[in-house]
Structure 1
């Protein structure tokens, strides 16, 4: 490289490559067992998503489905039946580029409990939960794939980038695949802490501390 040449920007992985990497990573962490969970990524007006019945740890780039933002299936195998959840989060937030839906054990367990507030199933139990996830509403139960549940997510009148589906599990969105995965893993950890406390009454972060973190890190919190 000559002195007047600048290094080329880092090449970002394509949606299929990013989804395959994400699926393998989430599976290696034990957050997706069997055919549980689905992952997607947005590029322009197209959504690439894992197919129905897929094992996330065994995904291959040529075996992914492609949808439009209105849900039309344009390429690949049949998409996960949970695709309306992904579309709802993309439509809510134009900056969202990836969505992760899991049935991870601790988050699924907390989804079976009463929510902490109307806008978050969990209190601000750690600074990292506030920083990396933010308020996480509990979405009333509906059968998997029911579009009514996705419509409910899309129409909620406050900001969030993660939800817990009642008696089901978490869905997280991010401006990158890494951000969506970080949110999913941090939400799982926060749920594990809540369950570890058992019947003890946890002391969450103060309203001021939560507001300061939310403002500093740009995470949604209005509880």
Structure 2
């Protein structure tokens, strides 16, 4: 199987798994993969992640010209911003996952580090997650906001919208965004009960041990 064919299959397999588990619903969410030659595979606009057809995945040039397949998601600028600013990015996942969206609406969250330090795996897979302001869906300002981070964050949370995570490949991005959603769920479940989060010393130990950009 060619690299492109395998990537198409992986996009559909991961997307369906996320849809089936309620991590995104309806026609929400989108996924992209960068191939070794720089071209991008992107989920089509208006498509449900639970019912994707590998043959209809959008094929884009490295500079985001549509080469084949269905028309791509309108949030291409969001995806391309990660590819252009974070060297080594091979996959980007964007979801409308419930707990992450709920967390983005709480007034007390720290916009520079949305997730409380509850587990080591959130630190390991995500680093600090930046809260970005509200944008209209498809607004190119989302991409500009990601570019403004100059590649310093692999994960952002769009206010009232959902998380976006970049990884070295599609699987890494998928695992990381699921960790984000589970940590957001933990944060909401423990809100107001003063949970024992990781101490500053424990956070530093995790950061040192796993060489996290913190």
| Deviation at residue 199 of structure 1 after TM alignment | 2.3
What are the equivalent positions in structure 2 for 1:84-95 lying under 5 Å apart?
84-95=77-88
Alignment of 1:4-153 (within 5 A): 14-43=6-35, 44-114=37-107, 116-153=109-146
Superposed CA deviations along residues 146-175 of structure 1, whole A, max 9, x for unmatched, are 111211111214622111001100111111
Q: Distance in 2 between matches of 1:49 and 1:215?
A: 35
- What is aligned with 1:166? 159
Q: TM-score, normalised by structure 2?
A: 0.91
Alpha carbons 1:32, 1:103 under 8 Å: kept: yes
Contact 2:90-2:168 at 8 Å conserved across structures: yes
Aligned-pair Cα RMSD in Å: 2.0
Moved more, 98-107 or 28-37: 28-37
CA distance in 2, matches of 1:185, 1:83: 21
Change (3 A) 1:95 1:114: farther
Distance 2:2 2:22 in 1: 29
- Does the 8 Å contact 1:28/1:57 carry over to 2? yes
The structure having more radius of gyration, on CA atoms, is 1
Tell me the SS of whatever aligns to 2:156.
strand
Instruction: Answer yes or no: is 1:155 the counterpart of 2:144.
Output: no
Alignment length, in residue pairs?
212
Note the alpha carbon deviations across 1:186-211, whole angstroms, 9 max, x for none: 10110001111232344432223223
Determine the C-alpha separation between the residues in 1 that align with 2:195 and 2:84. Answer: 35
Deviates more, 1:45-54 or 1:70-79: 70-79
Instruction: Report what 1:3 is aligned to.
Output: none
Residue segments in structure 1 that go unaligned for 5+ positions in a row: 1-9
CA contact (8 A) 1:86 1:99 kept: yes
Query: SS in structure 2 opposite 1:84?
Result: helix
Give, in whole Å, the separation in 1 of the partners of 2:163 and 2:20: 18
Unpaired segments of 5 or more residues in structure 2? none
Measured after TM superposition, the shift of residue 37 of structure 1 is: 0.5
